[in-house]
Amino acid sequence: MKNIGIGLLFSILWSSASVATKFGVQSAAPLILANVRFFIAGILLLSFSYLFVKDKAYRLPTKSEWQQLALFGFLNTTLYLGLYVYAMKYTAAGIGSLAVSTNPLIIVLLSSWWLSRKPKAEEWTGIILGMGGVAVATYPLLADSYTTVGGITLLLISMVAVSAASVYYATVKWELPNLLINGWQVFLGGVFLLPVTLFMADFNTTKLDTVFWGSVLWLSLAVSIVGLICWFYLLRIDTVKASLWLFLCPLFGFFFAWWLMGEPVTMYTVGGTVLVVAGLYAGQRTKFAGNKKS
Protein backbone atom coordinates (compact mmCIF):
# COMPACT_ATOMS: atom_id res chain seq x y z
CA MET A 1 0.00 0.00 0.00
CA LYS A 2 2.90 2.35 0.77
CA ASN A 3 4.39 1.87 -2.70
CA ILE A 4 0.98 2.40 -4.33
CA GLY A 5 0.49 5.62 -2.37
CA ILE A 6 3.92 6.91 -3.39
CA GLY A 7 3.26 5.93 -7.01
CA LEU A 8 -0.05 7.80 -7.06
CA LEU A 9 1.54 10.83 -5.41
CA PHE A 10 4.29 10.84 -8.07
CA SER A 11 1.76 10.64 -10.93
CA ILE A 12 -0.34 13.46 -9.49
CA LEU A 13 2.60 15.76 -8.78
CA TRP A 14 4.37 15.05 -12.08
CA SER A 15 1.23 15.65 -14.14
CA SER A 16 0.46 18.89 -12.27
CA ALA A 17 3.65 20.56 -13.55
CA SER A 18 2.15 21.66 -16.88
CA VAL A 19 -0.85 23.37 -15.25
CA ALA A 20 1.34 25.06 -12.63
CA THR A 21 3.60 26.30 -15.42
CA LYS A 22 0.62 27.64 -17.39
CA PHE A 23 -0.42 29.67 -14.36
CA GLY A 24 3.11 30.94 -13.81
CA VAL A 25 3.69 32.20 -17.35
CA GLN A 26 0.60 34.40 -17.00
CA SER A 27 2.56 36.54 -14.53
CA ALA A 28 6.15 36.26 -15.74
CA ALA A 29 8.24 35.49 -18.79
CA PRO A 30 8.80 31.71 -19.07
CA LEU A 31 12.58 31.93 -18.63
CA ILE A 32 12.24 34.03 -15.46
CA LEU A 33 9.78 31.50 -14.03
CA ALA A 34 12.17 28.67 -14.90
CA ASN A 35 15.27 30.31 -13.42
CA VAL A 36 13.61 31.22 -10.12
CA ARG A 37 12.25 27.68 -9.84
CA PHE A 38 15.65 26.10 -10.50
CA PHE A 39 17.51 28.22 -7.97
CA ILE A 40 14.92 27.70 -5.23
CA ALA A 41 14.81 23.92 -5.74
CA GLY A 42 18.59 23.61 -6.03
CA ILE A 43 19.41 25.74 -3.00
CA LEU A 44 16.82 23.97 -0.82
CA LEU A 45 18.04 20.49 -1.83
CA LEU A 46 21.72 21.35 -1.36
CA SER A 47 21.11 23.15 1.94
CA PHE A 48 19.19 20.19 3.35
CA SER A 49 21.82 17.71 2.11
CA TYR A 50 24.85 19.52 3.52
CA LEU A 51 23.36 20.98 6.69
CA PHE A 52 21.04 18.29 8.01
CA VAL A 53 22.15 14.92 6.60
CA LYS A 54 24.94 13.47 8.73
CA ASP A 55 26.52 11.10 6.24
CA LYS A 56 30.01 11.06 4.72
CA ALA A 57 28.49 10.32 1.31
CA TYR A 58 27.12 13.87 1.30
CA ARG A 59 30.34 15.55 0.15
CA LEU A 60 31.40 17.99 -2.55
CA PRO A 61 31.67 16.47 -6.03
CA THR A 62 35.06 15.55 -7.46
CA LYS A 63 36.41 17.10 -10.68
CA SER A 64 35.00 14.34 -12.87
CA GLU A 65 31.68 14.45 -10.99
CA TRP A 66 31.42 18.21 -11.60
CA GLN A 67 31.71 17.50 -15.33
CA GLN A 68 29.06 14.78 -15.16
CA LEU A 69 26.70 16.96 -13.12
CA ALA A 70 27.24 19.91 -15.48
CA LEU A 71 26.33 17.88 -18.57
CA PHE A 72 23.38 16.21 -16.85
CA GLY A 73 22.15 19.57 -15.54
CA PHE A 74 22.49 21.19 -18.96
CA LEU A 75 20.44 18.46 -20.64
CA ASN A 76 17.92 17.77 -17.87
CA THR A 77 17.34 21.30 -16.56
CA THR A 78 18.68 24.01 -18.88
CA LEU A 79 17.52 22.47 -22.17
CA TYR A 80 14.60 20.28 -21.10
CA LEU A 81 12.89 22.39 -18.46
CA GLY A 82 13.94 25.70 -20.03
CA LEU A 83 12.36 24.73 -23.36
CA TYR A 84 9.40 23.03 -21.65
CA VAL A 85 8.47 26.13 -19.64
CA TYR A 86 8.82 28.32 -22.73
CA ALA A 87 6.73 25.90 -24.81
CA MET A 88 3.93 25.85 -22.22
CA LYS A 89 3.21 29.52 -22.95
CA TYR A 90 2.04 28.39 -26.40
CA THR A 91 0.77 24.89 -25.61
CA ALA A 92 -2.27 23.51 -23.79
CA ALA A 93 -1.51 22.17 -20.31
CA GLY A 94 -3.02 18.78 -21.10
CA ILE A 95 -0.78 18.37 -24.15
CA GLY A 96 2.22 19.16 -21.97
CA SER A 97 1.41 16.25 -19.66
CA LEU A 98 0.69 13.95 -22.60
CA ALA A 99 4.02 14.78 -24.26
CA VAL A 100 5.96 14.06 -21.06
CA SER A 101 4.54 10.54 -21.08
CA THR A 102 6.25 9.82 -24.41
CA ASN A 103 9.69 10.07 -22.79
CA PRO A 104 10.14 6.28 -22.40
CA LEU A 105 9.43 5.88 -26.12
CA ILE A 106 11.98 8.51 -27.15
CA ILE A 107 14.49 6.96 -24.76
CA VAL A 108 14.17 3.72 -26.74
CA LEU A 109 15.27 5.50 -29.92
CA LEU A 110 18.11 7.39 -28.26
CA SER A 111 19.33 4.25 -26.50
CA SER A 112 19.50 2.44 -29.82
CA TRP A 113 21.78 5.15 -31.19
CA TRP A 114 23.79 5.90 -28.05
CA LEU A 115 24.19 2.33 -26.81
CA SER A 116 24.12 0.62 -30.23
CA ARG A 117 21.00 -1.35 -29.36
CA LYS A 118 18.58 -2.16 -32.17
CA PRO A 119 14.95 -1.30 -31.27
CA LYS A 120 12.52 -4.21 -31.30
CA ALA A 121 9.35 -4.33 -33.37
CA GLU A 122 7.09 -3.68 -30.36
CA GLU A 123 9.21 -0.66 -29.42
CA TRP A 124 8.74 0.84 -32.88
CA THR A 125 5.01 0.15 -32.50
CA GLY A 126 5.02 1.98 -29.18
CA ILE A 127 6.81 4.99 -30.67
CA ILE A 128 4.38 5.24 -33.60
CA LEU A 129 1.33 4.90 -31.34
CA GLY A 130 2.69 7.42 -28.82
CA MET A 131 3.54 10.11 -31.35
CA GLY A 132 0.27 9.46 -33.17
CA GLY A 133 -1.60 9.93 -29.90
CA VAL A 134 0.02 13.32 -29.29
CA ALA A 135 -0.89 14.37 -32.84
CA VAL A 136 -4.53 13.29 -32.43
CA ALA A 137 -4.96 15.06 -29.09
CA THR A 138 -3.27 18.21 -30.41
CA TYR A 139 -5.22 18.55 -33.66
CA PRO A 140 -8.40 20.30 -32.38
CA LEU A 141 -6.39 22.50 -30.00
CA LEU A 142 -4.45 24.02 -32.91
CA ALA A 143 -7.69 25.29 -34.43
CA ASP A 144 -8.90 26.72 -31.10
CA SER A 145 -5.59 28.56 -30.42
CA TYR A 146 -4.97 26.58 -27.21
CA THR A 147 -1.79 25.31 -28.87
CA THR A 148 0.53 26.52 -31.65
CA VAL A 149 2.83 24.64 -34.01
CA GLY A 150 5.80 26.52 -32.56
CA GLY A 151 4.83 25.48 -29.04
CA ILE A 152 4.52 21.83 -30.04
CA THR A 153 7.92 21.99 -31.79
CA LEU A 154 9.63 23.37 -28.68
CA LEU A 155 7.82 20.79 -26.54
CA LEU A 156 9.04 17.90 -28.69
CA ILE A 157 12.62 19.23 -28.65
CA SER A 158 12.43 19.41 -24.86
CA MET A 159 11.26 15.77 -24.77
CA VAL A 160 14.31 14.75 -26.80
CA ALA A 161 16.54 16.70 -24.38
CA VAL A 162 15.16 15.02 -21.25
CA SER A 163 15.30 11.60 -22.90
CA ALA A 164 18.96 12.23 -23.77
CA ALA A 165 19.53 13.24 -20.15
CA SER A 166 17.93 9.98 -18.96
CA VAL A 167 20.11 7.87 -21.27
CA TYR A 168 23.22 9.75 -20.15
CA TYR A 169 22.23 9.35 -16.48
CA ALA A 170 22.00 5.58 -17.00
CA THR A 171 25.50 5.41 -18.48
CA VAL A 172 27.20 7.12 -15.52
CA LYS A 173 28.25 5.19 -12.40
CA TRP A 174 27.11 7.77 -9.87
CA GLU A 175 28.66 7.69 -6.41
CA LEU A 176 26.85 10.74 -5.05
CA PRO A 177 23.47 10.34 -3.27
CA ASN A 178 20.35 11.08 -5.33
CA LEU A 179 19.55 14.22 -3.32
CA LEU A 180 22.93 15.73 -4.17
CA ILE A 181 22.73 14.72 -7.82
CA ASN A 182 19.32 16.34 -8.14
CA GLY A 183 20.31 19.42 -6.14
CA TRP A 184 23.48 20.12 -8.11
CA GLN A 185 22.00 19.38 -11.54
CA VAL A 186 19.03 21.70 -10.93
CA PHE A 187 21.26 24.47 -9.55
CA LEU A 188 23.85 24.17 -12.33
CA GLY A 189 21.07 24.04 -14.90
CA GLY A 190 19.80 27.35 -13.52
CA VAL A 191 23.28 28.86 -13.73
CA PHE A 192 23.60 27.84 -17.39
CA LEU A 193 20.15 29.28 -18.18
CA LEU A 194 20.71 32.58 -16.37
CA PRO A 195 22.64 34.41 -19.19
CA VAL A 196 19.89 33.47 -21.67
CA THR A 197 17.22 34.70 -19.25
CA LEU A 198 18.99 38.01 -18.64
CA PHE A 199 19.44 38.56 -22.38
CA MET A 200 16.07 37.37 -23.72
CA ALA A 201 13.43 37.66 -20.98
CA ASP A 202 11.10 40.64 -20.76
CA PHE A 203 11.39 41.80 -17.15
CA ASN A 204 9.02 44.74 -17.69
CA THR A 205 5.97 42.49 -17.98
CA THR A 206 6.86 40.36 -14.95
CA LYS A 207 4.45 40.54 -12.02
CA LEU A 208 5.72 38.98 -8.80
CA ASP A 209 2.19 38.34 -7.57
CA THR A 210 0.61 35.44 -5.70
CA VAL A 211 0.04 33.52 -8.94
CA PHE A 212 3.74 33.71 -9.80
CA TRP A 213 4.98 32.67 -6.36
CA GLY A 214 2.32 29.99 -6.03
CA SER A 215 3.45 28.51 -9.35
CA VAL A 216 7.16 28.77 -8.48
CA LEU A 217 6.76 27.21 -5.04
CA TRP A 218 4.60 24.37 -6.35
CA LEU A 219 7.04 23.61 -9.17
CA SER A 220 10.05 23.87 -6.85
CA LEU A 221 8.77 22.07 -3.76
CA ALA A 222 6.04 19.73 -4.95
CA VAL A 223 7.37 18.77 -8.39
CA SER A 224 11.16 19.23 -8.38
CA ILE A 225 11.69 18.01 -4.81
CA VAL A 226 8.81 15.79 -3.59
CA GLY A 227 7.99 14.44 -7.06
CA LEU A 228 11.59 13.48 -7.82
CA ILE A 229 12.11 11.95 -4.37
CA CYS A 230 9.08 9.74 -5.06
CA TRP A 231 10.44 8.86 -8.50
CA PHE A 232 13.89 7.91 -7.19
CA TYR A 233 12.23 5.81 -4.48
CA LEU A 234 10.16 3.95 -7.08
CA LEU A 235 13.21 3.42 -9.31
CA ARG A 236 15.18 1.87 -6.44
CA ILE A 237 12.39 -0.66 -5.81
CA ASP A 238 11.75 -1.69 -9.43
CA THR A 239 12.56 0.31 -12.57
CA VAL A 240 9.97 -1.47 -14.69
CA LYS A 241 7.14 -1.08 -12.19
CA ALA A 242 8.12 2.55 -11.68
CA SER A 243 7.52 3.28 -15.36
CA LEU A 244 3.95 2.00 -15.01
CA TRP A 245 3.08 5.12 -13.02
CA LEU A 246 3.81 7.23 -16.12
CA PHE A 247 0.66 5.71 -17.63
CA LEU A 248 -1.46 7.75 -15.22
CA CYS A 249 0.22 11.09 -15.98
CA PRO A 250 -1.83 11.88 -19.13
CA LEU A 251 -5.07 11.09 -17.30
CA PHE A 252 -4.26 13.31 -14.32
CA GLY A 253 -2.79 15.95 -16.63
CA PHE A 254 -5.94 16.35 -18.72
CA PHE A 255 -8.08 16.29 -15.58
CA PHE A 256 -6.10 19.16 -14.01
CA ALA A 257 -6.13 21.09 -17.30
CA TRP A 258 -9.92 20.73 -17.52
CA TRP A 259 -10.56 21.41 -13.83
CA LEU A 260 -8.18 24.33 -13.26
CA MET A 261 -7.66 25.82 -16.72
CA GLY A 262 -11.00 25.11 -18.40
CA GLU A 263 -9.31 23.34 -21.32
CA PRO A 264 -11.70 21.24 -23.45
CA VAL A 265 -11.79 17.46 -23.20
CA THR A 266 -12.98 15.99 -26.50
CA MET A 267 -13.03 12.64 -28.24
CA TYR A 268 -9.66 13.66 -29.73
CA THR A 269 -8.33 14.05 -26.19
CA VAL A 270 -9.60 10.63 -25.15
CA GLY A 271 -8.43 8.95 -28.35
CA GLY A 272 -4.99 10.54 -28.19
CA THR A 273 -4.55 9.56 -24.55
CA VAL A 274 -5.56 5.96 -25.29
CA LEU A 275 -3.02 5.80 -28.12
CA VAL A 276 -0.21 7.15 -25.91
CA VAL A 277 -1.00 4.72 -23.07
CA ALA A 278 -1.19 1.85 -25.60
CA GLY A 279 2.12 2.97 -27.04
CA LEU A 280 3.75 3.07 -23.61
CA TYR A 281 2.54 -0.45 -22.88
CA ALA A 282 3.57 -1.79 -26.30
CA GLY A 283 7.00 -0.18 -26.08
CA GLN A 284 7.75 -1.73 -22.68
CA ARG A 285 5.77 -4.96 -22.97
CA THR A 286 8.93 -7.08 -23.16
CA LYS A 287 10.22 -5.55 -19.92
CA PHE A 288 6.95 -6.20 -18.16
CA ALA A 289 6.92 -9.84 -19.31
CA GLY A 290 10.52 -10.34 -18.21
CA ASN A 291 9.77 -8.76 -14.85
CA LYS A 292 6.86 -11.14 -14.24
CA LYS A 293 8.99 -14.21 -15.10
CA SER A 294 11.71 -13.13 -12.69
User: Quick one: angle between helices 178-200 and 63-73, nearest 10?
Assistant: 60
Q: What is the pLDDT of residue 42?
A: 95
Asked whether the predicted pLDDT for residue 258 surpasses 70, the reply is yes
Model confidence at 40, in pLDDT bands (50, 70, 90)? very high
Model confidence at 103, in pLDDT bands (50, 70, 90)? confident
DSSP 17-37: HHHHHHHHTTTS-HHHHHHHH
Contacts of 266 (CB under 8 A, 6+ apart): 140
| Segment 218-250, tens digit of pLDDT | 999 999 889 888 887 887 776 656 766 777 788
Q: What is the pLDDT of residue 239?
A: 61
Its sign, for the CA torsion 13, 17, 19, 23, is positive
Q: What is the pLDDT of residue 1?
A: 66
pTM for this entry: 0.82
